[in-house]
Amino acid sequence: MRLFIKRGTQDKLMNQAKDGGGFQTIEVLVTNNFELAVPETERKDWIELYPGWDYRALKADSLQCGILMALIMQALPQTQSLLHSVWKQLVAIKKSAEEDAGVKKEMLPGGMIRISDKDGDVIIRQPFPYEVEGN
């Protein structure tokens, strides 16, 4: 079995501003034969997470993924170790969503990180450990 996740696109973002934010839907595909399941013109839109992956998939929206990331970051080291493969998947999903939103990250002198998007929004804050490690 192979696990793929479809890159989200800007038009797939559902604007829920009046309800407190936006949510991105995530499409997941588990298949033995990717080439047969997905037309050639659409294959560039899919990212393979784990070749030979044989576990069941979990559905979560971007808010739920963010909460899960925060829980793992705050967990005891032995728990973080057990959830490392889940963590890697969450970081991959986050990076894909950031690319689609045009997010740029820049390390500033003094250890702060500057985050901007294509709309011109800018946030300057302390980086999370995974952002310093090149993720």
pTM summary value: 0.53
Residue with tokens 């995974």: 130
pLDDT per residue over 42-69, tens digit each? 888 888 876 655 555 677 778 888 888 8
130 C-beta neighbours (distance < 10 Å), count? 16
Non-local CB neighbours of 130 within 8 Å, separated by 6+ positions: 91
Is residue 135 predicted with pLDDT exceeding 50? Answer: no
Comparing 17-31, 39-53, 112-126, which segment has the lowest mean pLDDT? Answer: 17-31
- Beta strands across the sheet bearing 27-31: 27-31, 2-6, 46-50
d(CA 5, CA 31): 11
Burial of 17 (0-12, 13-18, 19+ CB in 10 A): exposed
